[in-house]
Structure formats: C-alpha cells, structure tokens
Amino acid sequence: MSYVDDVLARVIAKNPSEPEFHQAVTEVFESLRPVIEANEDFYKREAILERITEPERMIKFRVPWVDDQGQVQVNMGIRVQFNSAIGPYKGGLRFHPSVNQGIIKFLGFEQIFKNSLTGLPIGGGKGGSDFDPKGKSDREVMAFCQSFMTELCKYIGADEDVPAGDIGVGGREIGYMYGQYKRITGLYEGVLTGKGLTYGGSLARTEATGYGLVYLTDELLKCHGESMEGKTIVVSGAGNVAIYAIEKAQQLGGKVVTCSDSTGWVYDPDGIDLEALKEIKEVNRARLTEYKKYRPDSEYHEGRGVWQIKCDVALPCATQNELLIDDAKQLVANGVMAVCEGANMPTTLDATQYLQENGVLFVPGKASNAGGVATSALEMSQNSERLSWTFEEVDSKLQSIMVNIYHNIDEAAKRYGKEGDYVTGANIAGFEKVVEAMLAQGIC
C-alpha cells in the first residue's frame, strides 16, 4: 500500500463518525499524490501526512447559559488548533446546530491550506458550538457568547489564536465575545477579527469573502478570454458570503438570479434586488419568504433547487455538501462555464470530479473564499500597528491577494502536469509552504 493510502486508511480508522473530515483529507491527499510519491521515503520518514492530519491541540468545553424563561441551557463549545507552522492559529467560529467535532476538524484542516495560499503568516484553526442563534433574543445571544468566551479566552490571544466569524457568527456575536475577552483578561488586543469599526475592525472585512470570491472568478474568466460582464450567475446562500458576492458580481456587470437559505430559494429573472435582500437578512434577520413582498414577479420555492437554473457561473455560498452529483449534471447540461466555491466544501467529491471531467472551470473554496481570512489577517496587522487603513487600501490589497492566489494555484497545477485542475493546484501550493515551515522547525 502506498504511503498516501496507508495514512488515509489510518486517519479514517482513527477518526470514526467524522465523514466530513474524511472527505476533506481524501480530497487533499488525492491532490498531493504526485508530490508525495515523487519523494515517498522522505515524507514517510518525517511522518508529514500523519503530522498534518493530527491537530496540534483540540479544546472541548461546556457552555452553560440562561434563556429568557430562566431555564439553564447547555451547549458544546470546541476549538481545534490545527497547525501553527506559518503563524498563529486563525479561523472562524461557527454557531449552528449541525456543529460537531468532525465538521470543525474538516474546516480546521482546510483552513491550514487556505491560510497558506493567502501568502500571509497565519496558521490553521476553527471552532464553534452547536448553539443556534436563530430565534434567540439579543440577551440570550449575549449570555451564550459571554459563557462561550469565559472558557475560550484561556486558550486564545492576539499572537496565539485569533478566531473570526463563520456561519451564525456575525458582528453582534463577535462584539459580545470581544467584550467578555477584554473583561476577563484586561487586554485590548486583536484577539478576534470581524470586529466592529469602532473597536478595531477593518473596513472591507464584511465584504471581503464575497468580494474576494468574485475578484478571483473574474480573473479566472479573464485568463480564459471572458469576464463577469454580462454573465448570468447563480448563487446559493443569503448570508455574509452570498450577499457580498452578489454585490460585487453586480458591480462587475453580472446578473445574479438566485439566492437561498436553509428553508428555500428565490429565483428572480430580472436580477436579485440586493437592497431588499440586505434588509431581509441583515436588518430583519428574516426568512427568504419575505423576498416576494419586495419583488412580486420573483419566484420562491421551498427546499433546495438553485442549481437547476441555467447560468454561466455558479457560486455556492451557503454550506458544505450543498452541490451534489445531480446538481453538477444539471449545471453541465445547462452549459455552466465556471463553478467557484464561496462556502467551504459545498461541492461533494463526485460532483467536483464530474464538473472537472466535463470541462467546467472549478475553483475550490480554500482558494476562492480565502479573501475573508486574508482580510482578517489585514485586520490583525492594523490592530498591531494601532492604525486603520481606508476601505480602498484594504480592498485593493484584497484584490491583489485574490489575483495572486489564482495565479499561484494555476502555476502549481501546471508544474505537476495538471493544467486547469485548480483543486490539485490549490492543495499543492498550500501544502508546500506549510511543509517547508514544519520541516524547518524540527519535530514538533
């Protein structure tokens, strides 16, 4: 059995009931095969694949809090500090009922390579809770966030581990957690990113993941003689990533015709009304059923279904495993040109393979959604120098980071004879830098 297959089998056996983690490791290992097999004895002796799949540290804790009825509630909190070879752990916190150890490990593992691709000095981590902020009062969310941070603050710090937002964790939650961190430690430091602008946040952080996704997609299209201008675009999700992907795609002349949430999806053939969407999701925190009130000619459907709409470009921006093999077949039958992931691992392995085999330009989230974490790293830089940069300054740095990421993954794929395979390119380019740093730092 080859070294890659042997370690993959052991990772699966050692981490039962973690299918998302198995999926992420399988995808990365498949891409790394040519790199590892070219120098198998060396990688095996150094146990590089074993080391890179074992988190440096994992913290799991109880989060008790009191709801508005006076009832004590208990949730699970977790932080995976996966790899600090190239910088302090960095990665979001996710609050969603589906959160479990396997999901956080898959996200933390992916984060190592994503952070490396940004070219900035940040290691990989991820965390969260099975707490569901949906339908909770502000007081309940604050009580939860304070309890969560009371435990987490023991393990994080501006030069140690710097969490950010993710699904279910936006400006409100970051604010409550930052306040509690400051209260307990007495430190006013850049321990979290995605902060509000009045207390150390960066301009353009809110927009960064969605904008970055579209900057990279535009560069990809331009390198293939196309651009976003005039393209019909299908987006899933209606959260932070989706909203700002829609905004930038519209600014670049694309027409976005769908969005979705966990209960249903909207098809608006005239193009999504972004102001209406922002009001529904960012201000009222309501369901997409509301959209029809603003745009009576649009369609609302229960369940999932955006991928059946004919488009040139598809941007999955909701959650993992939301674009399945049948969706991929439908997209190809409808002539899709490019699929770039805004969410983390939204496309299943077989769907990814089908898209690639059918000539679709496919960019994995670890490259195309890296704009969020890259801008978080820019927020850390601003906090360290106690300065704030202008929106234009941050946005232009974001744009050049995304363009560089595209060219790096393209070059890495070509170097291993896999031109146009951006999954392989992203995994190899991300891996090479982390491994060089790990080797330089000895056995640790």
Site residues for ligand NDP per CB under 6 A:
165-168, 209, 237-242, 261-263, 317-319, 342-344, 369, 372
* Shortest Å distance, C-beta 380 to ligand NDP: 14
Write the CA distances from 119 to 14, 114, 179, 344, 362, integer angstroms: 32, 9, 30, 19, 21
**Phi, psi dihedral angles at 340 (to 5 degrees):** -125, 130
Compare residues 226 and 282 and give the one whose CB is closer to ligand NDP: 282
Catalytic residues: 126
Q: Any idea how long the chain is?
A: 444
- Please tell me the distance from the alpha carbon of residue 333 to that of residue 329, in angstroms, as a whole number: 6
Q: How far apart are CA 226 and CA 221, in angstroms?
A: 5
Minimum CB distance to ligand NDP, residue 417 (Å): 30
> Which lies closer to ligand NDP via its Cβ, residue 126 or residue 231?
126
Closest distance to ligand NDP from the beta carbon of 262 (Å):
3
Least gap, CB of 241 to ligand NDP (angstroms): 4
Nearer to ligand NDP, 426 or 435 (CB): 426
Residues 366 and 368: their CA atoms lie apart, in Å, by 6
Tell me how far apart the alpha carbons of residues 295 and 282 are, in angstroms, rounded to a whole number. 18
Residue 240 beta carbon to ligand NDP: minimum distance, rounded to whole angstroms: 4
Q: In what order do the strands lie in the sheet with 232-236?
A: 255-256, 232-236, 313-316, 338-340, 361-363
Cβ 344 to ligand NDP shortest distance, Å: 4
Q: Which is nearer to ligand NDP, 66 or 324 (CB)?
A: 324
Q: Would you say 278 or 415 has its CB closer to ligand NDP?
A: 278
Q: CB nearest ligand NDP: which residue?
A: 239
Shortest distance (Å) from residue 167 CB to ligand NDP: 4
Closer Cβ to ligand NDP, 4 or 243, answer by number: 243
Question: Looking at beta carbons only, is 83 or 150 nearer to ligand NDP?
Answer: 83
